[in-house]
Structure 1
């Protein structure tokens, strides 16, 4: 195994590589294969292979692998990443879906690729982005964790079914930031939601890529959701994977505050999904997580709507005390959905929904907070509904 020497303080990086032989194809979805590989050590391990720039793998293919995250025991989902296919030459660099775009993502890395961005001059929507644009009061749900996305979508669908109305379900655009996983294809939740046709579209911006719509930054992504996609509401989270360093500022969820500013500046309604837990053993994540509090106190310079579920008395007291530090923002008390209702909503989804390894029964406040925020956004979109 090739291993770059151990990183000392101030050095720039560490990458570990290894080689494996594809044993079996576990699953295939748009843009991604999951395979098992025989490592040179004799171990059978899992790897993810992105097919937007490389051909599909077959058993027997010899692949170069980035094994860094697994070797460092990080939360990579338990997968190595395929870098290249060693035993193929002719089709190695053939892209599955050639792009006519001229906007680069993963810029100045060996993996950079061109995408066709919604704003670029060749786009039929280029003129939309020439002048000042306004979100016209569109509610935008802002979440720190990717696991919030399926909860929001299940709850919105459940509420729609409850109404027993002939009205269509809310049309939702999902915007994925570049704070976590960069390829949209990595998200199994997005693949499921697209297959179920619960999302009107997906938008990726910054260095994130693979959305049905590609955008350069958060502002144009939000404008696209409103004026190109014609979504009723948008949900914005990073992709799977969150960075935390147990410091006040060193975590990727700080971007929620920056997103508040962007939505507000564009005339939308930023609705922050609070990260609430009474099951997390870490003190800094008890009640309203310090991630939510810091993003709203430090990074958000504009007011956001912060829905808080009405929990049982002791838990509500903790949450309400913490919320006193959010004077800039509009705190909205929301009825707390019952565990039975959320369970019924989740029954429509084909996979278990967990966060930080915990399911609904283990951390009910986390899921209740997300559903309460979705209810709030729904009401803001349709005040008379």
Structure 2
């Protein structure tokens, strides 16, 4: 629930409440807020978060499940994991060891998700796509407007939340069981793995949450999937380390990913396209570089039910980045035929 709140001595602010954790606020309620995001001036996560309704307790948890996520925090939640013993899917997943060649598209930023899906459906409408969300960014999948809008439009079949992330259609203990659940339980034809909104970076070689993209390539490979690496590309980011192919992609795929993947290199026009190809070239020592045309993808991006946005930049401000993600979706469609 998105709320308008009045904070003593600080005026009005936006706030978010997750009813499954804290109950449903009503007009006039007092709310206990965490205002860290407001104090830090965050963009993606710029909400006060409702911690509790002091005058009214939330309903007691009900239903099966013993997976505790956001563990040992005041808002830890108990959920039913697809892979746990009480799950109806436990027997299916207990000895499962393969996703049977399923394409697994891996990306650094959450903003790549709608672009990947747009590119995939542009060339192969109706493909059953499942978003597998690790815990590098936001933990509740409910925070993702993109995932919700894609679900509502029928472009995304389901969401699986893994690790400490929660709130998906299915919960899983690890990325590995999340991918297996996507394939075997949800019958995904393609899985997309990208952290939730609000990635963390420190301007250092290793200190960014997108390192998990390399680990996702490894998970997809060890489970018999076909890992597809979507590059993080920007023509408009003011930070040199993210211009062309971001150092996040070069580190995650070039150093962390030990399993061979197909790295999609978009055929972008002009000098910038040549720069992206040159930046990606060293990844060919470890992976297969796949050149993918981008004709028709801009139209698909503009027709998406989700408005493209990354780091505050829209489609017109950073078209190359979204075309790159869409090209990864196009390549997955080609693999499926």
Which 5+ residue runs of structure 2 have no aligned equivalent? none
Counterpart of 2:80? Answer: 116
Counterpart of 1:265? Answer: 222
Counterpart of 1:347? Answer: 303
Alpha-carbon distance in 2 for matches of 1:372, 1:344:
11
Deviation at 1:108, TM superposition (A): 1.4
Higher Cα Rg, which structure:
1
How many residues are matched?
A: 336
Alpha-carbon distance in 1 for matches of 2:279, 2:10:
52
TM-score norm. by structure 2 comes to: 0.95
Structure with the greater relative contact order (CA < 8 A, sep ≥ 6): 1 or 2?
2
Match of 1:276 among 233, 242, 248: 233
Alpha-carbon distance in 2 for matches of 1:228, 1:109:
30
C-alpha distance after superposition, 1:182-208 (max 9, x if no partner): 001111111111222222211001000
Counterpart of 1:176? Answer: 133
Q: SS at the partner of 2:212?
A: helix
Deviation at 1:68, TM superposition (A): 1.1
Counterpart of 2:287? Answer: 329
Alpha-carbon distance in 2 for matches of 1:343, 1:59:
42
| Structure 1 stretches of at least 4 aligned residues deviating more than 3 Å after TM superposition | none
Deviation at 1:42, TM superposition (A): 5.2
Greater share of helix residues, 1 or 2?
A: 2
Alpha-carbon distance in 1 for matches of 2:294, 2:112:
16
Pairs within 5 Å for 1:283-298: 283-298=240-255
Alpha-carbon distance in 1 for matches of 2:105, 2:15:
33
Match of 2:93 among 116, 129, 135: 129
Which 5+ residue runs of structure 1 have no aligned equivalent? 1-32, 162-168
Counterpart of 2:40? Answer: 72
Counterpart of 1:368? Answer: 323
CA-atom RMSD in angstroms: 1.5
Deviation at 1:348, TM superposition (A): 4.2
Any conservation in 2 of the 1:136–1:268 contact (CA below 8 Å)?
yes
Any conservation in 1 of the 2:131–2:192 contact (CA below 8 Å)?
yes
Deviation at 1:363, TM superposition (A): 1.2
Alpha-carbon distance in 1 for matches of 2:288, 2:29:
56
Alpha-carbon distance in 2 for matches of 1:152, 1:297:
21
Any conservation in 1 of the 2:44–2:197 contact (CA below 8 Å)?
no
Any conservation in 2 of the 1:337–1:368 contact (CA below 8 Å)?
no
Any conservation in 1 of the 2:231–2:264 contact (CA below 8 Å)?
yes
C-alpha distance after superposition, 1:355-377 (max 9, x if no partner): 11112221121011011111111
Q: SS at the partner of 1:260?
A: helix
Alpha-carbon spacing, 1:309–1:225, altered in 2? closer, same or farther (3 Å)? same
Deviation at 1:69, TM superposition (A): 1.8
Counterpart of 1:21? Answer: none
Pairs within 5 Å for 1:200-349: 200-326=157-283, 327-338=285-296, 341-349=297-305
In the alignment, structure 1 residue 359 sits paired with structure 2 residue 314: yes
Alpha-carbon distance in 1 for matches of 2:48, 2:71:
22
Alpha-carbon distance in 1 for matches of 2:275, 2:209:
25
In the alignment, structure 1 residue 377 sits paired with structure 2 residue 332: yes
Alpha-carbon spacing, 1:309–1:61, altered in 2? closer, same or farther (3 Å)? same
Alpha-carbon spacing, 1:76–1:373, altered in 2? closer, same or farther (3 Å)? closer
Deviation at 1:44, TM superposition (A): 1.1
